[in-house]
Chains A and B, each alone.
Chain A
Amino acid sequence: MLESRNIVKKFLNKTAVDGISVKLSPGRVYAMLGPNGSGKTTWMKMAAGLIKPTSGEMLYEGTPVGIESRKHITYMSTEPYFYTWMTAGDAGRYYADFFEDFHMDSYLSLLERMELRPEMKTRSLSSGMMAKMKIAVTLARDARVYLLDEPFNGIDLLARDEIRQTILERAGEDKTMMLSSHLVEEMEAIADTALFIKDGRLAEEADLEALRTERGLSMADRYREIYGHTEVRA
Chain B
Amino acid sequence: MKNLMKYEFRKTLFTKLMVLGLTAMAQIAFLIGLYGDNERVLAAGVVLLTLLAFGGITVIGLASVVILHRDMNTKQSYMLFMTPNSSYKILGAKMLENGLSILLCGAFFFALGALDITLLFGRQGLLNELWNTLREMLQTIDSRITLDYPTMLALTANILATWISTVSCAYLGVVISTALFSGRRWSGFVSFLIILALLWLTGFIQLKGTAPIEAVRTVFLVDAAIAMGLSAVMYLVTVQIMERKLSV
Q: Which of B21-29, B57-65, B81-89, B205-213 sits within the interface?
A: B81-89
Name the interface residues of A39-56: CB closer than 8 Å to any CB of B: 45, 48-52
Cα A97 to Cα B78 with chains together (Å): 15
Cβ contacts under 8 Å, B76 to chain A: 81-83
Cα A79 to Cα B75 with chains together (Å): 7
Known contacts A67-B84, A83-B11, then 15 further A-B pairs from the complex at CB < 8 Å, ordered by chain A residue: A11-B183, A49-B81, A50-B82, A50-B248, A52-B244, A52-B245, A52-B247, A67-B85, A71-B84, A77-B78, A80-B75, A82-B79, A83-B7, A98-B3, A98-B84
Cβ contacts under 8 Å, A83 to chain B: 7, 10-11, 76, 79
Cβ contacts under 8 Å, A98 to chain B: 3, 83-85
Contact: B79 with A70, CB < 8 Å? no
Contact: B82 with A75, CB < 8 Å? yes
Contact: A50 with B75, CB < 8 Å? no
Partner of A70, one of B75, B83, B246: B83
> How many inter-chain residue pairs (CB < 8 Å) link A and B?
57
Contact: B84 with A94, CB < 8 Å? no
For chain A, what secondary structure do more than half of its interface residues adopt (helix, strand, loop), or is it mixed? loop
Cβ contacts under 8 Å, B184 to chain A: 12
Chain A residues close to B by CB (< 8 Å): 11-12, 45, 48-52, 67-68, 70-71, 75, 77, 79-83, 85, 94, 97-99
Output the nearest chain A residue to B246 by Cβ-Cβ distance: A52
Cβ contacts under 8 Å, B7 to chain A: 83, 94, 97
Cα A81 to Cα B246 with chains together (Å): 18
Output the nearest chain B residue to A54 by Cβ-Cβ distance: B247
Output the nearest chain B residue to A98 by Cβ-Cβ distance: B83
Cβ contacts under 8 Å, B248 to chain A: 50-51
Partner of B183, one of A12, A49, A75, A97: A12
Chain B residues close to A by CB (< 8 Å): 3, 6-7, 10-11, 75-79, 81-86, 183-184, 244-248
For the complex of A and B, list the 3 residue pairs with the smallest distance between their C-beta atoms, beginning with the closest.
Answer: A98-B83, A51-B247, A81-B78
Output the nearest chain A residue to B2 by Cβ-Cβ distance: A97
Contact: A97 with B3, CB < 8 Å? yes
A to B CB contacts below 8 Å, 12 in the list = A12-B184, A49-B81, A49-B82, A50-B77, A50-B81, A51-B247, A75-B82, A77-B78, A81-B76, A85-B10, A98-B84, A98-B85
Cβ contacts under 8 Å, A81 to chain B: 75-79
Cβ contacts under 8 Å, B83 to chain A: 70, 98-99
Cβ contacts under 8 Å, A51 to chain B: 247-248
Cα A81 to Cα B73 with chains together (Å): 12
Cα A97 to Cα B3 with chains together (Å): 7
Cβ contacts under 8 Å, A99 to chain B: 83-84
Output the nearest chain B residue to A97 by Cβ-Cβ distance: B3
Contact: B247 with A94, CB < 8 Å? no
> Taking the nearest CB of chain A, how far is it from the CB of B92, in angstroms?
14
> Taking the nearest CB of chain B, how far is it from the CB of A137, in angstroms?
11
Output the nearest chain A residue to B247 by Cβ-Cβ distance: A51
Cβ contacts under 8 Å, B245 to chain A: 52
Output the nearest chain A residue to B80 by Cβ-Cβ distance: A98
Cβ contacts under 8 Å, B183 to chain A: 11-12
> Taking the nearest CB of chain B, how far is it from the CB of A203, in angstroms?
25
Cα A67 to Cα B183 with chains together (Å): 26
Cβ contacts under 8 Å, B85 to chain A: 67, 98
Cα A51 to Cα B6 with chains together (Å): 26
Contact: B78 with A50, CB < 8 Å? yes
> Taking the nearest CB of chain B, how far is it from the CB of A124, in angstroms?
17
Contact: A67 with B86, CB < 8 Å? yes
Cβ contacts under 8 Å, B10 to chain A: 83, 85
> Taking the nearest CB of chain A, how far is it from the CB of B76, in angstroms?
6
Cβ contacts under 8 Å, A79 to chain B: 75
Cβ contacts under 8 Å, B84 to chain A: 67-68, 70-71, 98-99
